Amino acid sequence: MNQEPGQIKSGSILYHGNDGQVTDLASLSLNDKKLRDVRGKEISMIFQEPMTSLSPVDTIGNQIQESILLHTDLDKKASKELAIEMLTKVGIPLAEKRFDSYPHRLSGGMRQRVMIAMALSCSPRLLIADEPTTALDVTVRAQILQLLSEFKSSQQMSILYISHDLGVVADIADNIAVMYLSRVIEITSKEKLFSEPKHPYTCLLIESISKIGLSEDQRLSTIEGNVPIPLNLKHECGFFSRCPKRVEGLCNKAIPELNKISDDHKVSCFLYN
């Protein structure tokens, strides 16, 4: 009997849709059709690497148009017009001509903008953005972030933004969840995270940000050690080997829970247990 390569062993993914009902997207009772009604329409995603996300044998216009036809009531003519409009909005010049281009004819930054146009074309309620501005220069990145902000307001859309760039995070986020080795270690508001970080990893992460005014002889703070291999960890804090505040016999004997230390602040660290 064939099995899927990935399995959900426990947990849930709760989503509140347009119908007002809370849906568990991890539930085995959901079939492909029900999930397809959510993917791309209710929840859309911008992937980090567009070349592996776009089909190399189809034009970018057809790929955007296919998503629109699948999730809306627009006909072919109207869906093509919307696709060209979205390409224009994300800053692709001569969008009508580019509609018939194949992905390999575009630069990395242009392909990334195509992915963003595709993700926004059906006005999703939730947009998952995985490093959406990685391949873009500073000017275009600012334009894309502004575009995402405008869509967020006009479409009443929520954005789950995944990034290692704390400058972008500070600009776009309302609330921030810091992760280390696939575990959430701190959650709080943007203001509190940068003014009152609690977890040792969060503190070191913020200290390592390049700051204006550093003299030539000043060095950036660094996080000592290397990221451990998750498979080698058993029952210990993932940051134990690199943490300057680790406690022997405690931090290497158990995994700290994500505990609430104030109304809007949670931390996974024995220092606040």
pLDDT at residue 205 in the model: 92
Q: What is the pLDDT of residue 47?
A: 86
In a domain, 4, yes or no: no
Domain boundary among 113, 147, 173: 173
CATH number at residue 132: 3.40.50.300
Q: For the whole model, what pTM was predicted?
A: 0.85
- pLDDT tens, residue by residue, 171-208: 889 999 999 998 999 999 999 999 999 999 999 999 88
108/228 same-domain check: no
Asked whether residue 217 is domain-assigned, the answer is no
Predicted confidence at residue 140, as pLDDT, reads 77
The arithmetic mean of pLDDT across residues 94-121, rounded, is 91
Specify the residue for token string 């220092």. 271
Q: Any alpha helices (H) in 90-213, and if so which ranges? A: 95-98, 108-120, 138-154, 166-172, 190-195, 200-207
Between these two residues, 6 and 71, which has the higher pLDDT value?
71
Do 78 and 156 belong to one domain? yes
Burial of 57 (C-beta count, 10 Å sphere; 0-12/13-18/19+): exposed
40 and 125 within one domain: yes
User: How confident is the model over 206-229, as pLDDT tens digits?
Assistant: 988 877 777 777 777 888 889 988
| Residues 150 and 241 reside in one and the same domain | no
Does 7 reside within a domain? no
Domain hosting 149: range is 14-173
Whether 84 and 123 share a structural domain: yes
Q: Are residues 19 and 143 in the same domain?
A: yes
Residue 3 belongs to a domain: no
Residue 153 has pLDDT above 90, yes or no: no
In the chain, the number of structural domains is 2
**152 and 185 together in one domain:** no
Task: Assess whether 48 and 108 both reside in one domain.
Answer: yes
Task: Single out the residue in 145, 173, 201 at which a domain terminates.
Answer: 173
The answer to whether residues 159 and 188 belong to one domain is no
User: Do the domain assignments include residue 92?
Assistant: yes
Q: Find the farthest-apart pair of alpha carbons in the chain and give their distance in angstroms, rounded.
A: 67
Residue 3 has pLDDT above 60, yes or no: no
As a whole number, the mean pLDDT across the chain is 88
Mean pLDDT of 61-79: 94
How far apart are the two ends of the chain, measured CA to CA in Å? Answer: 46
The pLDDT tens digits for 226-237 are 998 887 777 889
8 within some domain: no
Is pLDDT at 2 greater than 60 in this prediction? Answer: no
Statement to judge: residues 167 and 190 lie in one domain = no
- For range 62-70, the mean pLDDT: 94
Q: Which long-range contacts (CB under 8 A, 24 or more apart) does 90-98 make?
A: 90/114, 90/116, 90/117, 90/120, 90/144, 90/147, 91/140, 91/143, 91/144, 92/117, 98/60, 98/61
**Sign of the torsion angle spanned by Cα atoms 245, 179, 267, 10:** negative
Q: Confirm whether 5 is domain-assigned.
A: no
Say if residue 258's pLDDT is above 90: yes
Is residue 198 one of the residues assigned to a domain? yes
DSSP bridge partners of 255? none
| Both structure tokens of 203 | 């503190």
What confidence score (pLDDT) does residue 28 get?
Answer: 63
Note whether 157 and 248 are same-domain residues: no
Q: Is 60 helix (H, G, I), strand (E, B) or coil?
A: helix
Query: Do residues 234 and 143 share a domain?
Result: no
Full strand arrangement of the beta sheet holding 183-189: 175-180, 183-189, 265-267, 259-262
Q: Residue 1's pLDDT band (boundaries 50, 70, 90)?
A: very low
What is the rounded average pLDDT of the residues 20-27? 81
